[in-house]
Structures are given as structure tokens and as C-alpha cells.
Amino acid sequence: QKEVEQDPGPLSVPEGAIVSLNCTYSNSAFQYFMWYRQYSRKGPELLMYTYSSGNKEDGRFTAQVDKSSKYISLFIRDSQPSDSATYLCAMSGGGSNYKLTFGKGTLLTVNP
Amino acid sequence: GAGVSQSPSNKVTEKGKDVELRCDPISGHTALYWYRQSLGQGLEFLIYFQGNSAPDKSGLPSDRFSAERTGGSVSTLTIQRTQQEDSAVYLCASSLSGNYGYTFGSGTRLTVV
């Protein structure tokens, strides 16, 4: 079992839809959880950053962490064509080593 | 600089040749990382530099791979005797110490023919 599992999709939704993206993980030491967005031929860009369990909201984006289930989610409300990208979850166990473990990414297309 | 700069953006090399990939991090960022992203794969950690500490090289896939960081700023990733399986996008990222939110560069797309 890989440390971080993420459905690669592809996921295709109409403009304005609510999008749900998810990752599961096996390492209970993970405490820091991130979502990155990656456009084609670009580097990943940090979207959301969460410590431990709970919800965090930023505009149309909401990140949820459920450590008891080892499950994290990213919700995108009122999705736009400009949201079309690959979304990568990432996580770390903390301490002095800031190495991140990434999911493989989910390819999202929002159709106008 | 305003962002993380990587060069070259694309590199095609013949099998067996050596290549050098360069990363110029954001000014003031003490942490620097190299990751590799292969087709259909997630980002794979290669190496981590933090200030003047010894680097974490635990992700380097073989002794053909090496990296250095000069003066706590610019980093170079060197791949010797390249193989076709080395073909991938090599991403560099930097961050402030203690910050898990990296800023990535756009990567170097390496193709070994």
C-alpha cells in the first residue's frame, strides 16, 4: 500500500459544479496537509495548508482533514474553467525534516 | 527573485551523457528541495537542503545523481551517465525554514534519447 492514495481521474464537471477531491493515507504520523494545483507544464502551486484535523476555507476552496479516518478532501465551489488543472495532495509528519509525500494527482476539467 | 527559477526549461540529451540542472530559489528561503515527476507518477523526493546543515540525500535513486548548493542559494542537480529512465520533469522548490508550503519552479523537462 502506498503511503498516499489519490484517484487520478480524470474528472470532468460543468462550470458552476461543486468539485470534491480526496486522498487517503496510511501514515498516522502525518500532521501537515496541503493541496497543490498544477497547470500543464508548470510547477505545482500551493492552494491550501492545514495542520491536524479540521476544516479550512479560502474563497471557493475548502480543505477538510479527518485524521481518525486518514482522509483529506478539497472542495471547490462554483467551479470555473480556470480551475482546470491537476490537483495534488501532499502531507508531512513534521519534525525537522520538511519532506512532503505527494499523491499522484487528480486531473480536473471544468467545462464552460 | 520573485519566484523559483530553473534552467534550462527543456533538455534533450543522449544516453550516457552527463547533465546539470540549475535552481535559483527565492531570496531568503533557507530550505531547498529537488523532486522528480515522471509521467503518471506523483512527485518523488530527491534531496533537501536546509541552511548549512548536511543535506538529506535519502531520495536520490542512484549514485549517478548528486546535488550541491553553493553559498546557501543556487543549487545544481547533476545526473551522470544518463539513462532513459531518467527522463522526467525535475522540480525545484524553496521555502522559509519551518514552513511546509513550498514554492515550486516550473521545472526542467529532461528527455534522454
Yes or no, beta carbons of A44 and B56 under 8 Å apart: no
The position carrying cell 535552481 is B23
Q: Decide: A87 and A21 in contact? Cβ < 8 Å.
A: yes
Chain A partners within 8 Å of B100 (Cβ) = 32, 34, 49, 92, 98, 100
- A53, pLDDT greater than 80: yes
CA dihedral B65, A88, B96, B86 (to 10 degrees): 10
Identify whether A10 is preceded by a cis peptide bond (ω within 30 of 0): yes
- DSSP code per residue over B34-90: EEEE-TT--EEEEEEEETTSPPB-TT--STTEEEEESTTS-EEEEE-S--GGG-EEE
Predicted confidence at residue A54, as pLDDT, reads 86
The model's confidence at residue A56, banded by pLDDT at 50, 70 and 90, is very high
Beta strand A11-14 pairing with A106-111? parallel
Residue type, position B19, single letter: V
10 Å CB burial of residue A109 (0-12, 13-18, 19+) is: middle
The model's confidence at residue A45, banded by pLDDT at 50, 70 and 90, is very high
pLDDT tens-place values along chain B, 113 residues long: 579 999 999 999 999 999 999 999 999 898 999 999 998 778 999 999 988 888 999 999 999 999 999 887 999 999 999 999 999 999 999 998 766 778 999 999 999 99
Chain A partners within 8 Å of B59 (Cβ) = 99
- A105, pLDDT greater than 80: yes
- Cα A97 to Cα B56: distance, rounded to the nearest angstrom: 8
- Nearest 5 degrees, angle CA A111-CA A87-CA A21? 80
Predicted confidence at residue A94, as pLDDT, reads 67
Q: Percent of chain B beyond pLDDT 70?
A: 97
Q: Decide: A104 and A10 in contact? Cβ < 8 Å.
A: no
pLDDT tens for each residue of B68-79? 998 879 999 999
Q: Percent of chain A beyond pLDDT 90?
A: 75
Q: Residues in chain A, how many? A: 112
Chain A residues with CB under 8 Å of a chain B CB are 4, 6, 8, 32, 34, 36, 41-46, 49, 88, 90, 92, 97-105
pLDDT tens for each residue of A61-84? 999 999 999 999 999 999 999 999
User: E strand or H helix at A66, and its extent?
Assistant: strand A61-66
- A1, pLDDT greater than 90: no
